Chains A and B, each alone.
Chain A
């Protein structure tokens, strides 16, 4: 089982940076010049100290930075309503190659779960229609094993966004090798381990309850008492690869996240009012011109 002090243990020389704008902490290995924050691309960063940490496992990048840029371009460039700031060269160039720290754990859900269930049937008695409701107490004994559940250790990436791209294949997991971190940054884990574990348990339990519920042969079902527990085993700290782009637009942040191994993408886009107005004017001009030409020549 993992311990709280296992954070940031990479076992080699690295430089640690702190972003004064988004408060992200990240590491850089080797001689790579770090000028911008790997999360928000701010230049307002400071080198904090050098750290020597234990080494974790790593899932290497299979997608290139160019793949990520091309995918991002295909999503925004020909999208007429996406704000120009999303399409600027500077924005596209600020996609960062980042390793995120996660815990990969196996989990077992075991125990009894008590449900209240029921069925409703319509009955006709002396030309009057009645509804008969039967209530049942259903006790299910559950045992489920989950493998390679990923627990996000950094607060800089929302869990729901991260889980969307989180289809890493841990069969190809490697021991940490510094050369794999060339040109990339490593976000420092900043979440409370207990909270991360609790959040993971809740997620697993929620899914397990759904499975158990679907196994009940009654129409109505409601959880009554849950004595099942989630136990973690085989935990290991792993760096997983992502391409990360954070765009600030009108005081809000929009994230583009690509799984660096599989290429699965989750992106948040928005429409710009200026772009909608410009597009409307362009459409108006085009239709006006076509209608005018038709009226003129026919």
Chain B
């Protein structure tokens, strides 16, 4: 009994696939389209649904193009997970070399819509099947929702422009990593976390340099001033003469021989 339990436990750790690195897809059929319950299958979208990969929506990172090592996948997944924890938005990242005949925008949106992701979320696709790589960022949510206000078209364009430099250079991990950072950065900008976008498009902390310099200057001046004054007092040599201790107290003899009034003056007080 104990032996079989041990084998089950070991099997779990040895053979359970890593949660964040998956290329598993499930076959869609006309009997089972594998779409979320709110998606209505019609003649118009039926073919699109069938051509869209069906995935486990909990996996979040779908590296069909095999761009990342296991370690990189773990790293990216951790950051995605952190971001999802902060924002409560869903995030999916897809890499592929085959878009099943879709253009990248349709492929990305269908991927998000026809799998069971949250109503509000962001999906990022890297396509490497053409001459040049292509990337796309889809934002899902109602038009007036918060997520739409955070990831505006302008910010989406700005993000893609920045990330594309890395993709073009073949730094897929770095570019994807930056993408997640920027997602988080935009979210934090809009939640008063003091972030700004620098000249190169990076989302960076808005450090109040002027205030820090003023604070450091003022405080260091005050500290040095107080220290100098305190140490000045400490440094002054306290000269003393111990002659008093040399006086033989038994020998003190002072007698008043005379104490006479010699004059008396009365004057008006001022």
Residue positions of A touching B, CB distance < 8 A: 79-81, 112, 117, 122-123, 128-149, 160-161, 163-164, 166-167, 203-204, 207, 211-212, 215-217, 266-271, 276, 279-280, 283-285, 287-288, 291-292, 295-296
Contacts and interface: CB of A to CB of B under 8 A. Distances in A.
A143 B220 CA distance: 59
B244 A207 contact: yes
Contacts of B262: 135-137
B267 A133 contact: yes
Contacts of A283: 219-220, 223-224
15 contacts: A80-B227, A129-B268, A130-B267, A131-B267, A134-B263, A141-B255, A145-B248, A149-B243, A163-B241, A207-B241, A211-B247, A266-B239, A271-B231, A284-B216, A291-B212
B166 to A, nearest CB: 24
A272 B253 CA distance: 51
Nearest to A280: B224
Contacts of A137: 258-260, 262
Nearest to A266: B237
B207 A295 contact: yes
Interface of B: 194, 205, 207-208, 212-213, 215-217, 219-221, 223-224, 227-228, 231-232, 235, 237-248, 251-269
Contact of B266 (A123, A143, A268, A288): A123
The B interface is mostly helix, strand or loop, or mixed, namely mixed
A112 B251 CA distance: 16
Contacts of A139: 256-259
Contacts of A140: 254-257
Given A167-B242, A287-B220, A138 B212 contact: no
A184 B135 CA distance: 86
Given A287-B216, A291-B215, A146 B261 contact: no
Contacts of B258: 137-139
A148 B267 contact: no
A212 B257 CA distance: 12
Nearest to B258: A139
Contacts of A123: 266
B227 A128 contact: no
A203 B241 contact: yes
A148 B216 CA distance: 57
Contacts of A133: 263-267
Given A167-B242, A212-B254, A146 B248 contact: yes
Contacts of A136: 259-262
A268 B140 CA distance: 76
A123 B264 CA distance: 13
A141 B254 contact: yes
Nearest to A143: B253
A139 B252 CA distance: 16
Contacts of A267: 237
A123 B253 CA distance: 37
Given A129-B268, A276-B224, A163 B242 contact: yes
B246 A147 contact: yes
B224 A268 contact: no
B215 A129 contact: no
Contacts of B232: 271
A115 to B, nearest CB: 10
B264 A161 contact: no
Nearest to A133: B265
